[in-house]
């Protein structure tokens, strides 16, 4: 690790405010040598609260992955709790790619035998449930909770959403028999450390968790496997606005 | 069902030849009153052979879903074996949406206690595995096989891919202890009936299966639930090339 | 489908009233060319509310399957929510066989990410749970509810059971986070369409769902696999009252 | 256990020879005070090799259960590897009911971390797979093998089937990494002890295992729960040949 | 079984009072010919209420297993609900080894389709959950309950813990829809029979269940498989206080 | 992270050579500020190749955890592929505890959709299988392989074991369809980087992975949850050689 590491932090939505919140959290935990390159798509959805929003966001994620790859970053973080486009991004990337839901959930299982999730809108619970299933952590999750406020309420300056997150975490600690809480939205990144202190249990933010995962993988000289289904996309003439996403020469 | 039914058959890739193959198969099984509106995206990937291709294709699927919705179709079929964008499409749609992998797998479980899958490239097996898992059919699938030829080889006129599919089906019948075979690519749609006759076991094509599922749901007056996570996407200003995908007025 | 289709609707219990309710529902959704041949065993249990009742009913189902096969029907529906004798019936049948629990659950997963079940007596919940497990839909079912009235209360003309079903469906929609409801008794078949309208979510009846499944399979020229464990029963001298159920000549 | 225990050993098929083989094995392991009452249905199938045969056999099992209950037996063994009618029998019985597949599998998990199954015809493997799943032992079973001979070949006096069982057990020990073998047919009951000695691993017969389970439950004064779904069948007028199976007065 | 059977009942904690309670229960259900050799470690933890306590207790269990093996006992019972050291003990033992959680859970599944567990401190619920998972009984367990009193409160003579167990069992019967209850602590062994009578459902104690399992295995001449991962530990020079635990000569 | 971090690397076996190999690997990937305190028990087993060896090793692990805690280390690594005593260690520790199997498996799932495991003796495969199950990675593991040489052959200087590991990894890459390989023994730690280069897929060593996990958790100020089942062991008078392991004053 003689050279500084550059981690691309991709906010899949177009909110600059949320990008900034996550960038600050990422920088606060990154190693001294790590540079955080925080980006978000120029076009897309201002927040991600469902399967449709995720599908829109995925395209922005992939374009950022390509830009990051061309810029030679050492790793990519997908900073939305649904980990949109994760496997597609891994195909496209040369460096490792880590999602924030994934990172937070993995760490949670090392700190407690069961964890709870606190997220924003109830309709996103299905996404969280699918991720638990895909990652293998169904049995490690005691309960899922939603504060029933949209993602962008975390950026409205009123502090209401933050207060609801706090209350929900306290309630979850009491009711679920969980030893840890996973925050289910990138926009909650700045709450984890103070809630950890106040609640006296690990309250885990995926943004900072993913940054450390990338740093770990880089130090171990491990990167996305190009053997099998995560190999670079097959070269084919992507047409229209997708042209340029799939250029074989960039792979070598 | 006094009025004729209009089913939008969406080929998520841009291959017109494959769209036509699937349209013919769809029409051959559809009810007399059913009209098949076969479409494919104008821009995107010519074939879908991995997570990245699926992510690209999903956008095309969603734009077709919106166009179909605006045109008042009675149901949508996503005609690629990975069922790309299925849940996002269901959010956007008013009418029912059925994927061809889903449709074929469901029917297979009603005809045999275990089935095998025969698909194109090995790298797509992961996608099939994830679908089995998501739909709940892991234990119903005895084995997954790949002919190790790309999707478009099914359209090259040589018949080589078709021959390999046939051989693989015969081998699977012999080795897997399965009672049925699911064809793992929309481009194989025209093979199912003759292989069913030749092998004397159900060889199931998802395109025709999905058409019948949509007809069934329409007859039952059942459509995608708008209660919960498949409700219409929240209204938010999608920017750039995504503008227009998310217009609330269309929902009512 | 030039010729009209004949679907044998088998009510596994001996209640003629329930057979008639289901037959009417079946006819109301069947294609114009489809004939519904509604039958029930002459001997057996008047209602099916447990494992024992199911075992009794299974024999009646098998005798009807044989009769239907001899009559050349194009498909068989087992119209009791426990799908009693389903795999045995598939062995005996030449045509496809679909259970109503199975059909309703399959369709539910295409309309919502999670569904709830509303059934009659609490003791039947174990059967529903086993079916969810066998079909692979455990994770797709959010909750199971019982109205705590026996099956035949649906036929007593008082409307009390129907009212309880309605209330339970409304409560389930509110509490379970499910997008759809599966009605857990053939005797509720006539309630699905009005509850779907009133609750504004899919409320699914398995009788009509199974009829459409059979029509779909027939249109696809798919039938029960005779390769493997669903092959015709091995020829053996069934003795006593079972004689005649297993005549090899009928298979050819 | 002052009084002698009477265990009803129910062979679900009509083969007297097999009933006798199993009775001898049962008696050889039973406690001194235990009496084995070996029975089989008067009418039914001579062997059970599929879902259909199981459905036929279930009725015979239930009639024997009722007869045994009326005779005051202390427990019932269902002596066919598919455990046909197990839950229905438990509803009907006052005393405990144990299936031989169940008993053998349970014991196997206490002797080895993984076991293999050796059974008769390949078409019965689906039944064994379903039982593993229902009982929770999917992960404890390393492999399932069939000797590809019918059940009654075990009674033909040639010894061929026995030889094939032996060879398959030896092969399974070598290939599966299993520590124990479960014999998948009641007709193999007399082979377990000598194969255990020859192979030097536990080769488990369910008939003897089930006898000991019943003795254990009797000693512990534990019997089938009548709270919930295994409560006695609801009283209802069973008609025709089923009359008499469901008499409430017998329950008290 | 000409010779009397000797079963070593190993209480993994150092409480002589609890050892005595369990010994009495064991003797009350054992066959006339069975001798119960009740032991506990000289050094260790007075009660076992967590993963750490289990790790301490495991060493005591192994030393008792070795002593029992040297004394030629016919089977070993590990009499703590977490079944501490079960697989290690099976490696070391020549005779069968059965844990009390295991034994109780196995029997419960033969008496009811679902059971509940009532144990002592909430922190031990994780252990019970892991066991359910390891043994395959996750779906058979409807709920887990803790009386929130430490293990040794069962020995304080006040009867308070016993009263709480009783209340919790009554509540569980009412709320869980379970047909049976498994007592989740060896110190509750003496409560099972009276609670079974009072609640009129099987309330199962693992100590007595395990004794009968050992008797059953002995009668069947089945013992721990020495083929594969339960073979005797590889001979290696264990140093310090562990010397003597692993002497190859004892195996022959 | 102003202050240097001290990570206690606990080799659960008594082999100084293996401790040294792992320490070197750990130091080669640790951050500049991280100090690796490599220890192994004074007494115990020279290698760990089964459940029994693990039970012995667990006590040594716990004593080292306590010593490390008293010395104020910032994290503990349990450096044996079975992760012996992991949950017990977490109870005892104030700082985070990570096992090497766990760490390697978690990272593998972020680099490939499926991984293979290559370990030493076949009898340890059961342990690996149980860990996959406990951590939720069953479906992420394509296959498990053993080189069939004991752990200490990795330290005999002949290079034979290393050669077999290499061959097995090459074979696994070819046969399993896995994108990554997890090395199943701490003694293979020094092979990961060169095999990663040679095979051109991630070959993951858990020792270095666990070191990075601890560094990550420390940077995130996250530590083992003391709410629930991983809270400090309840204070109780551990007797004999266990005295001193459980001193409440050390917790504060």
Tokens of B50: 């991995």
**What pLDDT was estimated at residue A252?**
41
Model confidence at A154, pLDDT cuts 50, 70, 90, reads very high
Does the pLDDT value for residue F251 go beyond 70?
no
- Confidence (pLDDT) at C251: 46
Whole-number percent of chain E with pLDDT over 90: 91
What is the residue whose two structure tokens read 């880590």? A98
Q: Identify the pLDDT of residue E161.
A: 97
Q: CA B103, B104, B106 angle in degrees (round to 5)?
A: 65
F152 has pLDDT over 70: yes
C-alpha E60/C-alpha E44 separation (Å) is: 7
Residues with Cβ within 8 Å of B104's Cβ and at least 6 positions away in sequence, in order, are B182, B183, B204, B205, B206, B209, B210
Q: Which residues pair with C183 in a beta bridge?
A: C118
In whole angstroms, give the CA distance from residue D134 to residue D101.
Answer: 11
Q: Contact D64/D147 with Cβ under 8 angstroms? A: no
Asked if the C-beta of E222 comes within 8 angstroms of chain F's C-beta atoms, the answer is no
First to last CA, chain E: 22
The conformation of residue D160, written as its DSSP 8-state character, comes to: H
Q: Which residues contact D137 (CB under 8 A, 6 or more apart)?
A: D105, D108, D109, E136
Class level of CATH domain A101-205: alpha beta
Contacts of A133 in chain C (CB under 8 A): 139
Contacts F124 to D, Cβ<8 Å: none
Name every residue whose Cβ is closer than 8 Å to that of residue B190 and which is 6 or more positions away in sequence: B21, B24, B25, B205
The domain E5-99+210-251: what is its CATH number? 3.40.50.12500
Matching residue, tokens 């079984």? E1
Continuous H helices in chain E: 16-29, 51-71, 86-92, 100-111, 125-135, 160-176, 192-199, 206-219
User: What gap in Å lies between CA F32 and CA F29, rounded to an integer?
Assistant: 9
Which residues have a Cβ under 8 Å from the Cβ of F118 and sit 6 or more positions away?
A: F145, F146, F147, F165, F168, F169, F172, F181, F182, F183, F184, F188
CB contact under 8 A, C91 and D14: no
pLDDT digits (tens, 9 = 90+) for C104-130: 999 999 999 999 999 999 999 999 999
Q: How many CA atoms lie within 13 A of F11 on its CB side?
A: 31
Per CATH, A5-99+208-250 and A101-205 having the same topology is answered yes
Q: What is the pLDDT of residue A221?
A: 97
- pLDDT of res. C27: 98
- The minimum CA-CA distance between A239 and chain F, rounded to whole Å, is 28
Cα gap C49→C151, rounded to integer Å: 7
Does residue D8 sit in helix, strand or coil?
strand
Burial, C71: exposed, middle or buried (Cβ in 10 Å; 0-12, 13-18, 19+)?
A: exposed
A-to-B residue pairs, Cβ atoms closer than 8 angstroms = 135
Q: Are B69 and B93 in contact (CB under 8 A)?
A: yes
pLDDT of residue E248 exceeding 60, the answer is no
Mean pLDDT of E43-54: 95
Tokens 């053998």, residue? Answer: D104
Distance (Å, rounded) from C-alpha D217 to C-alpha D219? 5
Q: How many CB pairs under 8 A join A and E?
A: 5
Q: Which helix (H) or strand (E) holds C34?
A: strand C34-39
Buried b or exposed e, range C43-61, using 16+ CB within 10 angstroms: bbbbbbbbbbbbbbbbbbb
pLDDT tens-digit map of B21-63: 999 999 999 999 999 999 999 999 999 999 999 999 999 999 9
Contact between F224 and F97 (Cβ < 8 Å): yes
What confidence tens digit (pLDDT) does each residue in C29-40 have?
Answer: 999 999 999 999
Q: Is the pLDDT of residue C236 over 60?
A: yes
C-alpha distance from B66 to closest chain A C-alpha (Å): 12
pLDDT at C222 over 90: yes
Task: Answer whether F127 sits within 8 Å of E229, measured CB to CB.
Answer: yes
Which residues fall within 8 angstroms of residue D193, CB to CB, at 6 or more apart?
D205, E221
CATH architecture of B101-206: 3-Layer(aba) Sandwich (3.40)
Structure token digits, residue D102: 């169940």
Task: List Cβ neighbours of B209 (8 Å cut-off, separation of 6 or more).
Answer: B100, B103, B104, B106, B107, C216, C220
Q: Quick check: A248 pLDDT over 60?
A: no
Lowest mean pLDDT: which of B13-17, D103-107, D110-114, F248-252? F248-252
Query: CA C168, CA C193: separation in Å to the nearest integer?
Result: 16
The stretches of E30-159 forming alpha helices (DSSP H) are 51-71, 86-92, 100-111, 125-135
Q: Pull the structure tokens for residue C27.
A: 């006819």
Domain ranges of chain B: 5-99+208-251, 101-206
What fold, for E101-207?
Answer: Rossmann fold (3.40.50)
Q: Look up residue F44 and give its two tokens.
A: 């115990």
Name the DSSP letter for residue E39: E
The two structure tokens encoding residue A200 = 């006296």
DSSP-derived secondary structure for chain F = --SPEEEEEE-SS--HHHHHHHHHHHHHHS-TTEEEEEE--SSS-SS--SHHHHHHHHHHHHHHHHHHHHTT-SEEEE-STT-TTHHHHHHH-SS-EEEHHHHHHHHHHHH-S-EEEEES-GGGHHHHHHHHHHHT-GGGEEEEEE-SS-GGGGGSSS-HHHHHHHHHHHHHHHHH--SEEEE--GGGGGGHHHHHHHHSS-EE-HHHHHHHHHHHHHHTT-----SSTTSPPPP----GGGTTS--GGGG-
Task: Please name the fold of domain D5-99+209-250.
Answer: Rossmann fold (3.40.50)
How far does CA E108 lie from the centroid of its chain?
15
Q: Closest to D179 (Cβ–Cβ): which among E137, E173, E230?
A: E230
Nearest-10 Cα torsion for E1, E6, E7, E10: -170
Per-residue confidence (pLDDT) for residue C247, from 0 to 100: 58
Per-residue buried b or exposed e for B91-114, using 16+ beta carbons within 10 Å of the residue's own CB? bbbbbbbbbbbbbbbbbbbbbbbb
pLDDT digits (tens, 9 = 90+) for E71-129: 999 999 999 999 999 999 999 999 999 999 999 999 999 999 999 999 999 999 999 99
Instruction: Tell me which residue of E180, E233, E228 sits closest to E203, measured CA to CA.
Output: E180
Evaluated on CA atoms F43, F48, F53, F59, the torsion sign reads positive
Residue E94 is predicted with a pLDDT of 96
Cα distance between the two ends of chain C: 22
β strands within C42-140, DSSP E = 75-78, 97-99, 115-119
pLDDT for residue D242: 87
Place of tokens 């309710």: C21
Which residues of D, range 185-214, sit inside 8 Å of E by Cβ? Answer: 193, 196, 200-202, 204, 208-209, 212-213
Flag whether pLDDT at E252 surpasses 50: no
> Quick one: average pLDDT of E151-161?
94
For residue C220, give the nearest of F209, B209, F123 by alpha carbon: B209
Q: Does B137 touch chain C (CB under 8 A)?
A: yes
- Distance, in Å, from the CA atom of F107 to the CA atom of F203, rounded to the nearest integer, reads 11
F193-200: average pLDDT: 97
Element (H, E) at C206: helix C206-219
Question: Cβ E228–D96 below 8 Å, yes or no?
Answer: no
Instruction: State whether residue B179 sits within 8 Å of chain D by CB.
Output: no
pLDDT for F248 equals 55
Chain C residues touching A126 at Cβ < 8 A:
113-114
Q: Rounded distance, CA F242 to CA F59, Å?
A: 9
Residue of E nearest to F240 (CA): E43
State the Cα–Cα distance between residues C139 and F185, nearest whole angstrom: 36
- Please answer whether residues F78 and F59 qualify as being in contact, where contact means their C-beta atoms are separated by less than 8 angstroms: no
Q: pLDDT above 70 covers what percent of chain B? A: 96
Q: Is C216 on the interface with A (CB under 8 A)?
A: no
Q: How far is CA C78 from each of CA B135, C75, C128, C185, D53, rounded to the nearest angstrom?
A: 23, 10, 15, 12, 18
The predicted structure's pLDDT at residue E241: 81
- Put simply, whether E125 touches A (Cβ < 8 Å) is yes
Six-digit token pair at C245? Answer: 């159920």
**Are the Cβ atoms of F177 and B122 closer than 8 angstroms?**
yes
- CATH assignment of A5-99+208-250? 3.40.50.12500
- B7 exposure class (CB count in 10 Å sphere: 0-12, 13-18, 19+): buried
Answer whether C60's CB lies under 8 Å from D59's CB.
no
CA distance D143 to chain B (A): 13
Strand order in the sheet with F141-146: F141-146, F115-119, F180-183, F203-204
Worst-scoring range by mean pLDDT, A81-90, C109-118, C232-241?
C232-241
DSSP state of E241: G
Q: Which two tokens stand for residue D46?
A: 């001579």
* Per-residue pLDDT in tens (0 to 9) along chain D, 252 residues: 446 899 999 999 999 999 999 999 999 999 999 999 999 999 999 999 999 999 999 999 999 999 999 999 999 999 999 999 999 999 999 999 999 999 999 999 999 999 999 999 999 999 999 999 999 999 999 999 999 999 999 999 999 999 999 999 999 999 999 999 999 999 999 999 999 999 999 999 999 999 999 999 999 999 999 999 999 999 888 888 888 786 554 444
How near does any CA of chain E get to the CA of F209, in Å? 24
- The CATH code that applies to domain F5-99+208-251 is 3.40.50.12500
Average pLDDT over residues E193-222: 98
**Residue A82 in contact with residue A62, Cβ under 8 Å?**
no
**For residue A148, with 0-12 CB atoms within 10 Å meaning exposed, 13-18 middle and 19 or more buried, which class applies?**
middle
């Amino acid at each position: 690790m003689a050279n500084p590491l550059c981690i691309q932090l991709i906010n899949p939505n177009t909110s600059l405010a949320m990008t900034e919140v996550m960038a600050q959290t990422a920088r606060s935990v990154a190693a001294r040598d790590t540079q955080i390159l925080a980006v978000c798509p120029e076009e897309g959805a201002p927040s991600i609260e469902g399967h449709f929003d995720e599908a829109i966001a995925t395209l922005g994620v992939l374009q950022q992955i390509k830009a990051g790859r061309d810029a030679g970053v050492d790793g990519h973080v997908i900073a939305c709790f649904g980990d949109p486009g994760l496997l597609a991004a891994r195909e496209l990337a040369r460096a490792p790619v880590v999602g924030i839901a994934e990172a937070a959930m993995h760490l949670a299982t090392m700190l407690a035998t069961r964890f709870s999730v606190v997220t924003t809108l109830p309709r996103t619970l299905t996404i969280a449930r699918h991720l638990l299933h895909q990652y293998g952590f169904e049995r490690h999750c005691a309960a899922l909770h939603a504060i029933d406020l949209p993602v962008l309420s975390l950026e409205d300056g009123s502090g209401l959403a933050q207060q609801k997150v706090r209350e929900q975490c306290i309630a979850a600690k009491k009711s679920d028999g969980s030893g840890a809480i996973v925050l289910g939205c990138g926009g909650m990144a700045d709450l984890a450390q103070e809630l950890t202190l106040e609640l006296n249990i690990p309250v885990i933010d995926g943004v900072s968790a993913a940054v450390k995962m990338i740093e770990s993988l880089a130090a171990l000289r491990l990167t996305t496997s190009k053997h099998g289904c995560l190999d670079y996309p097959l070269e084919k003439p992507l047409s229209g606005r997708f042209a340029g996403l799939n250029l074989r020469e960039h792979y070598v």
